[in-house]
Structure 1
Amino acid sequence: MPLTFLAADHDSAGHAPEEALPHAEQDQWRRPYRPGPWRVAAAAVTLLIAAYMLISAMIIIMAGSPAGAGATLGAAVAAIAFALRLLRMGIWVSTHGLRRVGLLRTRTLRWREITRVSTVQQPVKWLGTPRSVQGQALLIERRRGEPLRTLLTDHNADFLARPEAFNRAADVLEAWAAEHH
């Protein structure tokens, strides 16, 4: 069963993204890179905690406390939703535009709203913390409106210690932008 939210570095025919834009002819949203090990590990730990919470809810309901079981079940469902949203976070592209999926918010930009996609050297946040280090960032320049937050960095949860994956993802995103201008 293909897991579309975990986009591969290759399309279904086995072509690398540099050879062709994956699914450019289809109108589906696709992430041009795989989620990083930090993001997957955080989601796995959250799902493990949710499993323990579900077992706890079962024990609590057998003990005869439906209110406590309901609260525990609700917390487990919230943990599962958090883990799934954590895995969906990132940059998605389609023929329609570019979509940034965050933890609580999703923002979509049409390709006609974007003037340039480029990789620059600048101070970036390390794993989203306030600590800044020198690194690479993928920037989006818009035709009008407020500046867009940095979309991808080589020190975020998807690309930390994986510079080749960041370069590949940045190249694919730049190719999508060039193709649709």
Structure 2
Amino acid sequence: MPLPFLTADRVFEAADDVPLPHDDRDRWRRPYRPGPWRVGVAALALLLASFVLFAAVIIAATAELTSAGVVFALALLVIAAALRLLRMGVWVSARGLRHVGFLTTRTASWEQVASVRTVQQPVRWLGLPRTVQGQALLLGRRGDTAGPVPVMTTHNADFLGRVVAFDRAADSVEAWAEEYGPR
């Protein structure tokens, strides 16, 4: 039985000679796979949601339906949080660059993007207040006085311990910016 998810690396490496190996450039896509930390936390959240759903069924069978409804709503909230966690990251298309956070999404059209570059700087470790030395992909917008903001780092949930994957993803985002950015 073929397992296509095991061959994803080989397919991606075969397409490395082409900077933008996508047919539909208007579709939003993430230029990298979610990291193991992000996927692991989401999997644990979904496991927790399954136990909460099972508890909702038991409560519905033995107690009041309003109590089961509250527990069921809690399970749906955990599932929604897990799916949002998997959706977080940097997305690109011919229209621009989108940085999806847990609660916010910021989109910049390529005309608004002044620079996309990789720099060595202190970065937050897994989004926590602790900082470590690492690399960050900075997005600079035209007319933004706050300066460039990091959209990806080597120590976030997607790239912790995967420096080569970060380099590949940063190069891909920079290639999108070079192709679609203002001349």
TM-score by length of 1: 0.90
2:69 maps to 1:70: yes
CA drift of 1:142 comes to: 1.2
Change (3 A) 1:173 1:162: same
Q: Which runs of 5+ in 2 are unaligned?
A: none
Find the counterpart in structure 1 of residue 161 from structure 2.
Answer: 161
CA drift of 1:62 comes to: 0.2
SS of the counterpart of 2:164? helix
Deviations 1:77-108 (A, max 9, x none): 00000000000000000000000111111111
SS of the counterpart of 1:75? helix
Give the partner amino acid of 1:154: T
Q: Percent identity?
A: 53
2:146 maps to 1:178: no
Work out the number of aligned pairs and report it.
175
Q: Which runs of 5+ in 1 are unaligned?
A: 1-5
Find the counterpart in structure 2 of residue 123 from structure 1.
Answer: 122
SS of the counterpart of 2:118? strand
Change (3 A) 1:123 1:14: closer
Q: Distance in 2 between matches of 1:138 and 1:85?
A: 22
Change (3 A) 1:108 1:11: farther
Q: Distance in 1 between matches of 2:21 and 2:28?
A: 10
Structure 1 segment 34-113 matched on structure 2, within 5 A: 34-113=33-112
Q: Distance in 1 between matches of 2:37 and 2:12?
A: 28
CA drift of 1:70 comes to: 0.5
CA drift of 1:17 comes to: 4.3
For the 8 Å contact 2:140–2:149, the answer to whether it is kept is: no
- Alignment RMSD: 2.1
CA drift of 1:140 comes to: 1.0
